[in-house]
A and B are shown apart, each in its own frame.
Chain A
């Protein structure tokens, strides 16, 4: 039996998911019993779902033996548990953002998902349209990064509103090759995962053969202004950026892919539509 105790969006929680993966990754044709204890932050469904799918690829059966009733309620509403044989529930409070499994080619479907789950929701009156636009732009940048770089077959997404805290958490996960492998291959080096992530989030750094490397830098600027944060877990590297700066840490064991978790403040009154002084006739 594996116990997942108090999973939020902290470094320690990602370590628990990684340890859970490491403990079970070599099982074949087996039964994996999970007990969720205390809190489970709904957006972490994306991280857990990605790990569980790797177990299922080894023909293991997943059993949720215990979930606290409140948590179960949310994981039914966001659809996560419907992937494990349970019947979903309608979300009358409208605080969940659906758990989704997408193929990298499902770009159009992802657009519809983001519109339905974020832009189109009338219960977020505190958010200005330019703020919503910036948020969606940020989420797209991450999705597109997973499409381009991860070589993953599936991209997992999930989010959650926390109305009392005026926060949204949104998570995108892949089970692809990760930051380190991409940077190492491109430059024929052997970086630590933390170094690879730190390098990749700097403006203008890219492993593509064409120009790029702007998306994550723009995202950093946005979360700074918005008083949110960006966390990246890739292999055994942890990276977090918030208004106080960036920090990195190593995990014991590796996550089999990449998690990007974004936190946005919904009560942000910053002006995101400043008239620019850019002359479009002289932009090239």
Chain B
């Protein structure tokens, strides 16, 4: 039987506002610890009132640095996220996939600016 754990964002960061990158880092480390120990993770956004992409980048986006898309799909489940949170998370995830797949893209975008 699979081992599953629930991580409450509210409890991890200590309040209802998932806005600071540093708070996201706490969530990231907890998810990582659980996945590395072989657990499936349910990440609960219950009672979270505000989210920034800066928070979601560190909490979830950077998982794509350490795990493949398949591993993340298999290990992580999201619950109780708001509609606006869903939109932000989708954007964070799509950006993270590209960022870790193609690290040269940013360098190229600088060259574009220089070429204008």
Contacts and interface: CB of A to CB of B under 8 A. Distances in A.
B62 A283 contact: no
A214 B83 contact: no
Given A273-B84, A276-B83, A283 B109 contact: no
A81 to B, nearest CB: 30
Interface stretch (B2-10, B32-40, B68-76): B68-76
Contacts, number: 123
B57 A273 contact: no
B93 A283 contact: yes
Interface residues of A, number: 45
A280 to B, nearest CB: 5
B110 A140 contact: no
A141 B15 contact: no
A227 interface: no
Contacts of A225: none
Contacts of A183: 110
Given A133-B50, A275-B83, A284-B72, A211 B19 contact: no
Nearest to A282: B73
Contacts of B98: 204
Interface stretch (A6-14, A19-27, A195-203): A195-203
Given A148-B21, A273-B83, A191 B109 contact: no
B77 to A, nearest CB: 8
B48 interface: no
A143 B72 CA distance: 30
A210 interface: yes
A136 interface: yes
A235 to B, nearest CB: 16
Nearest to A143: B19
A191 B110 CA distance: 9
B17 A111 contact: yes
B31 interface: no
B58 to A, nearest CB: 7
Contacts of A134: 84
Contacts of B81: 280
Nearest to A141: B52
B114 A191 contact: yes
User: Chain B interface mostly helix, strand, loop or mixed?
Assistant: helix
Contacts of B54: 141, 144-145, 148, 212, 215
Contacts of B90: 276, 278, 283
A111 B20 CA distance: 10
Nearest to B106: A205
Most buried by B among A130, A214, A218: A214
A2 B22 CA distance: 41
Given A211-B92, A213-B95, A278 B86 contact: yes
A211 B15 contact: no
A211 to B, nearest CB: 4
Contacts of A107: 19-20, 22-23
A199 B89 contact: no
Nearest to B14: A108
B29 to A, nearest CB: 13
B20 A210 contact: no
A131 B84 CA distance: 12
Interface of B: 15, 17, 19-23, 50-55, 57-58, 61-62, 64-65, 69, 72-73, 76-78, 81, 83-84, 86-93, 95-96, 98-100, 105-107, 109-110, 113-114, 116
Interface of A: 107-108, 111, 130, 133-134, 136-137, 140-141, 143-145, 147-148, 183, 187, 189, 191, 195, 198-199, 202-206, 208, 210-215, 218, 272-276, 278, 280-281, 283-284
Top 5 closest A-B pairs, CB basis? A211-B96, A211-B99, A214-B53, A211-B61, A144-B54
